[in-house]
Amino acid sequence: MDDYQLLRYSRHILLPQIDVDGQLAILNARVLVIGLGGLGSPVALYLAASGVGNLVLVDDDLVELSNLQRQIAHQTTRCGINKASSAKQSSLALNSHVNIETIERRLDDDAMVAQIKLADVVVDCSDNLVTRLQVNRLCWQAKTPLVSGAAIAFEGQLMVIDARQKDTPCYQCLYDETSDAQLNCAQSGVIAPLVGVIGSLQALESLKIITGLTDVSQLGKLHLYDALSSSWRAFKFPKKTNCPVCGNP
């Protein structure tokens, strides 16, 4: 690292768990972010500020006025433009030394898996079950760590899935195509800072994976946040032997 980087990332480098080697890992990392709405906004901004060298932002949606209550990577003047493009502008304004690619379309399996295989971490910030199940399945096949988040009304959830770890369950062990997890913010509403809480934690877990700080005992746990009571609960859920994604053959 040069003097500029040593100063810019000095608060990371001061942490003995990260130090210079950890920041170098961050600078050399590639992170794929799926969805640049309420969750993806803080994820993109914090990863860019942290110095993640390569960000790939994927979203086929356009910025709308109703997004601005919570999607902090966007601005009023950007209504009508693609969310990935808007998030890129905001992220580069924070850190122009980060390389940011945007994909402004919905990815089919072939295109998605090609991106997943290039990534060190995938962060699922999508708002629909179909995409979450797709990303989970393809990350598991590629053995790429996945950080999954969701937020609705006053409730948030966080999960880290890593197929490289033995006996770890996947997202589909908990939810499948018949699950009732189909609600979204447009239908049910969401308190604005909740997506910041969950998205910030997704960024944190991504940095922990990159720097080797992940607590393996927390893999396969569903972390639930109740914003009304300001309380967390964590559930260890089992790996389903008949899971079509990660179950035993």
Catalytic residues: 185
Rounded Cα distance, 86 and 68, in Å: 12
CA torsion sign for 108, 109, 113, 114 is negative
What is the SS3 assignment for 128?
coil
Distances (CA, A) of 167 to 161, 209, 216, 242, 249: 11, 18, 11, 13, 13
**DSSP run (H or E) holding 103:** strand 99-103
Rounded Cα distance, 199 and 32, in Å: 14
Distances (CA, A) of 127 to 9, 35, 154: 32, 8, 15
Q: 92 — phi, psi (to 5°)?
A: -70, -30
Amino acid at residue number 8: R
Residues 6 or more apart whose CB falls under 8 angstroms from that of 108 comprise: none
